[in-house]
Structure 1
């Protein structure tokens, strides 16, 4: 397997920030980058800068009316009309409030995902990681769920238009990847596969097993919702089975994956009870299938993750370590209590309001098991059977 991968990043992406108290904190990008630097896993030659997506590229997904509203609300002093229309376009909420400069800042996020896609599709690298991306909730005509422009959807639409290939979108965020799903709900050449906590209890309230696509796209939308308090074994059992079956059935030319790391037990915005183990194992499955079915073509994006101190840097680092097949992964198999670098811990302990973990992997075997573990596992299996009923074994 190739170790050829690029890391798409620029500090300008840190400007994607709603306000100082908002849970979507771009500091996690710096923490992850610094962790990879501290272990010598990220060479400057591997880093590529995002470019700003053109308005034409944004319009592959978003409506002109919505883009015009985003532009109007990006001004230091929006007009009275722009303010009056902000509610209709979902940009006046506590989750997704407008902020100065958001049009250009979010175009750069979308451009980063396009750059990653071009690099992989042109064969410059097998894999590309863009952690600033993964804004999967934005709809064609509405902002939502901390997302202004949907960079994942824009990148997929760009790939479809420029390269005319089949795209598998895999979403591992604990919140359903609704914006991407609805953008391609009728497209037989884009398969969306989302793993998330059931929408019965969690934003955005969608992602049921019976959401399967429409028209020519029927069967190309696959949702695998799990119960609250799902743990590692049940999550990974469902992930591995669904990935194997869907990739074998759909035979994509490229995999675009979104890696929100908010299914962790410590995340404050959801109810799933997984450890860092799933963030080590899921990329391995995607990596292996990308090489087996897609010639290695794999673009990975960031996403949610709101315990930025104890969870996100470790979880996102596993993605890059998998892409470059770093020897640290083999050490973790032999040494499950392998320590994080002291230089990184020393640097970020000064800033963190919480005590940082000292090992790469959680000691999940010491955690108190969920009282309903067996029942939750069985419910997840039955739901998955419905989700995959049209996907051959």
Structure 2
């Protein structure tokens, strides 16, 4: 069964202008690279369905949606700020992004595909009645709500963006059917200022919010150590029916908006690990999206092409040269290889703790906060 990509050129029009971090080209450059490497040939590529406003209303308030439809600055709803300027057809394009993620969820839930992706999605900061962090409609939350309405018993959401997945966590904080897991740079240093380990879920849903807040400068070895020390345990304990993941690649060392130091190779390793966990725990049912990422030419297209290749079942070797024609499109910034040549080995937390390590302190804080709620031994 082929993996599925939900894509049309309209989805690449979600942008806030050339002088904004969420500039044009992130999705289009990815699609071009994936096409030239033959990745798209190994996927079923289908367009998003027509917008169903009732699905948007399952997460977002009517007056907020009406404000987005008007496309005018509105301080009450966070529209028209420096971070979140209005742009032409903002509602139509944002709603279509949400529909693309819902379509990925529908394809997996109905068994049409085991794996489905919307790299245009991953807008995890949007709240029910406000835009935030370049995110207008929370496509992830809308897709999760669709899955729950369709009868899915438990949904696990894992967010590897450098910023905390605050919108998805907030929307499902009191819902025991949804586990949100976020690995991010510590909110003591970075927007949105949430995602501390002590945020573990609301009344009746204790243990279903899991936050790993990593120190600035965390590299591949530290990040993968933290992932391995927490994510498999909590997912196995929760036993989700479906896994949905957000793959913001702004954790890369070259990203201008944050201070983690991952390589393309480290990010690719996390995608492979999540695919394996979906296979192990969810019978292979895996929905993935894009997210943040502001090294627009050097990082984003390669990262999401790796994601799509994994969705297709045929990962791309990091030593693969980038195509000549694609480099000509991108210009002098275009990287020569699909990887950064980094070693992604790491020492497992289970094999020994270093109390002086800030990464291990972050791991310990998360395990102390949430493991008892899940009936797990924190292991120290």
TM over 0.5: yes
CA distance in 1, matches of 2:77, 2:285: 35
Say which of 63, 69, 89 aligns to 2:77.
89
CA deviation profile, 1:90-122 (whole Å, cap 9, x unmatched): 112111112231111111000000110000000
- 2:115 pairs, out of 127, 151, 161, with 127
> What displacement does 1:306 show?
0.1
1:169 aligns with 2:177: no
Aligned length: 363
Q: What does residue range 1-393 of structure 1 map to in structure 2 within 5 Å?
A: 4-43=2-41, 46-72=44-70, 74=71, 78=72, 83=73, 86-326=74-314, 328-329=316-317, 332=318, 337-349=319-331, 355-364=333-342, 375-390=357-372, 391=374, 392=376
RMSD: 1.7
Q: Note the C-alpha offset of 1:284.
A: 1.1
1:293-342 CA deviation, whole Å, 9 max, x = no partner? 1111100001000001111111111111112221634xx4xxxx442222
Q: Work out the CA distance in 2 between the residues paired with 1:255 and 1:359.
A: 30
Q: TM-score, normalised by structure 2?
A: 0.91
Cα offset for 1:248? 0.7
| Deviation of 1:364 (Å) | 3.8
Question: In 2, Cα distance between the equivalents of 1:295 and 1:9?
Answer: 25
8 Å CA contact retained: 1:265, 1:271:
yes
User: Deviations for 1:133-153, whole angstroms, at most 9, x for unmatched residues?
Assistant: 000000011101001110001
SS of equivalent to 1:215? coil
Deviations 1:64-111 (A, max 9, x none): 111111112x2xxx5xxxx5xx11111121111122311111110000
Q: Where does structure 1 lack aligned partners over 5 or more consecutive residues? A: 366-373
| Partner Cα separation in structure 2 for residue 34 and residue 100 of structure 1 | 24
Q: Distance in 1 between matches of 2:316 and 2:257?
A: 30
Does 215-224 or 190-199 show the bigger shift? 215-224
Q: Deviations over 1:321-373 (max 9, x none)?
A: 112221634xx4xxxx4422223222322xxxx522211111346xxxxxxxx
In structure 2, distance between residues paired with 1:135 and 1:17:
12
TM-score normalised by structure 1 residue count: 0.88
Secondary structure (helix, strand or coil) at the match of 2:128 reads coil
Whether the 8 Å CA contact 1:259–1:303 is kept in 2: the answer is yes
- Equivalent-residue separation in structure 2 for 1:245 and 1:309 (angstroms): 35
Is the 2:154–2:240 contact (alpha carbons within 8 Å) kept by the matching residues of 1?
yes
